[in-house]
A and B are shown apart, each in its own frame.
Chain A
Amino acid sequence: MTQTVFAPWDDPNQKPLIRFQNVTKRFGEFVAIDNLTLDIFEKEFFALLGPSGCGKTTMMRMLAGFETVSDGRIELSGKDIGHVPPNKRAVNMMFQSYALFPHLSVWDNIAFGLRRDRKSKSEIDARVDEMLKLTRLEKFGRRKPHQISGGQRQRVALARSLAKAPKLLLLDEPLGALDKKLRQDTQFELMDIQESTGTTFVIVTHDQEEAMTVASRVAVMDEGRIIQVATPANIYEYPNSVYVADFIGDVNIIDATATPTGENTYALNWIDGQPPITAETKTTFSAGQQAHLAIRPEKIRISTERPDEAANALQGKVLDIAYLGNLSTYHVQLPGGQVIKAQTANTRRIARRDITWEDPVWISWSATAGVLLEH
């Protein structure tokens, strides 16, 4: 039995639900969104990820209709929505502050959008009850927003924005106000709800772990441009630039000059007095070209003895150990002064750990462990 993978972005016949075409947004002199083109497909859980000020919130507000487009067009199901006001769009938004109406009960908050559509009373009742059930808030319908907890408020906001069954749901930092444990639980809840309702979700976040957990695809943004759009795994394993590699997770970046040594293999001269690093890549580099090797700490092995079969092995001493409980990150200083991070899973009890501060160690990795990047 073959399982069909959900990947409409790889299918050229699929029509995107949302299409940004050369969209530019200026606030006075400031360019918030710079000639951006992007397709988002139906039933996707799409994450816009970037540091604050990168334009991700502006993109969301343009989708909701709170900001107009300076140049280019935004299409929803093939129709230009550039000048459709927010109340006429089949798009709903969950606000970062939740924006629950404090003078209305939870029930009335959820019914608010349905009432605007002049639905019959029985229809509204049924839909609100359905939403309360979906978000497990049945007991809280009569309460006012200030009488429930932060996590419950978050669910009310979600229920309210889903009540009108929008084509597209926008979530602006939906979990930002929750503590870490609750946030993790809620991430899975969000994914379940997204799957069961079949609604397209676009989430804005600055938390890369959150984006990786919930999203089907992640767009990494910087200064109004999209740097890379890919699935979480591809973003992590095959970043297209040092910026993305550095933004997502922990990484060692080694700057070097590339020398081709065979088909797809390169010798990287990175510092005087150290043997060149061997790396494999499909990208072509000319002899003497600048290259950056991005290698994740968990792909680097650390050992007390020189490993026998490793494409790259370097000796150094342990400068620092970050103990994270399940993992430990070792900061290994090489004779030249560079520090390389290596990570291992703590499968043994800490008392039996055989590497400690100031120990001479070997770090090693294979030729395919890292990604060789042009910029």
Chain B
Amino acid sequence: MRRFALIAVPYVWLLALFLVPFIIVFKISLSDLALAIPPYTPTMRDGIGDMFAAFDFENFVFLTEDDLYWKAYLSSLRIALISTFMTLLVGYPIAYGMAKAPDEWRATLMMLVILPFWTSFLIRVYAWMGILSNEGLLNQFLLWLGLINEPLVILNTNMAVYIGIIYTYLPFMILPIYAALDRLDESLNEAAEDLGCSRMQAFWLVTIPLSKNGIIAGSFLVFIPALGEFVIPSLLGGSGTLMIGKILWEEFFNNRDWPVASAVAVVLLLILVIPIVLFQRNQQKQAEAEQ
């Protein structure tokens, strides 16, 4: 009985905070737009039987008809993939440096990585607007150095979105990689060198494979929120930046089309579920192979 109660806690948690909201969103995605409160029909007030009878997949069909949506999905995927990769390129050396730092420095470095979270996310994104704009700090600095003659256009381009995503999600990449590297025994690298590896070979043959789990975990922690990211593309991106999070926001708040917005959200979730399931399968297979 006690064991059951213990297992029940996470299941109840998932049920209440994930499954129930998902069912509500899914239900809305099956209904039609209406000028009412709430702005869709049918609802429970029409009677359960009638409500189910009126459900259809019209909104999902609509998503396939207007090429805006699949373009936005693809563009989001592309932006999320590229920025995850770039976050990895920036985050790995930082995590590596932290893991190799003297013990007395580690707590401080960890603090520095986490410190940005103490400020509101919105304020930090606005700060980037100040840095990246045509008259911003970055352009002023580069002009002063004489590296450029006229300001670079970074704000309101995809580049600004990449910078924003890398900056925002960097800690999520650093922490799991750091955790993996921190556990790594220094004598493994020495053994690799002793057996004929150069420093660089030892890094590729020992350090990278042994921090693989940290890399995968960090990449998912960045990729998943980046895919549905809305604030960064709307504030830093331009009119050319197509991301599904932004479309979702517009459907919901500008068009007040809850059913289509819900359909967009359900498809987004399905897109995210696929890599998560694949990842977990892979982990499970690995665990089985090791036994």
Contact = CB atoms under 8 A, between A and B. Distances in A.
Nearest to B289: A144
B190 A86 contact: yes
Contact of A144 (B191, B197, B206, B290): B290
Nearest to A110: B195
B282 interface: no
Majority DSSP secondary structure for residues of B touching A: helix
A152 to B, nearest CB: 17
A160 B193 contact: no
A93 interface: yes
A85 B198 CA distance: 9
Interface in A115-140: 116-117
B191 A99 contact: yes
Given A92-B195, A146-B290, A99 B187 contact: yes
Nearest to B187: A99
Contacts of B185: 97, 99
Given A97-B185, A99-B187, A164 B290 contact: no
A164 B195 contact: yes
A112 B191 CA distance: 10
Interface string A63-88: 01110000000000000000001110
B188 A101 contact: yes
Given A101-B206, A103-B210, A117 B196 contact: yes
B188 A87 contact: no
Interface residues of A, number: 27
B225 interface: no
Interface in A130-163: 144, 146-147, 160-161
Nearest to A160: B195
Contacts of A93: 190-191, 194
Contact of B196 (A100, A116, A144): A116
B109 interface: no
Given A101-B206, A103-B209, A144-B290, A95 B197 contact: no
B190 A116 contact: no
B201 interface: yes
Nearest to B188: A99
Interface in B188-237: 188, 190-198, 201, 205-206, 209-210, 212
A112 B195 CA distance: 7
Given A103-B209, A146-B290, A85 B187 contact: no
Given A101-B206, A102-B210, A146-B290, A113 B193 contact: no
Given A86-B190, A95-B191, A144-B290, A113 B210 contact: no
A3 to B, nearest CB: 37
A233 to B, nearest CB: 33
A66 B195 contact: no
Nearest to A66: B190
Given A87-B198, A116-B201, A144-B290, A99 B190 contact: yes
B67 to A, nearest CB: 45
A97 B187 CA distance: 8
Contacts of A164: 195-196
Contacts of A116: 195-197, 201
11 contacts: A86-B190, A86-B194, A87-B194, A87-B197, A87-B198, A99-B185, A99-B187, A101-B206, A103-B210, A116-B195, A116-B196
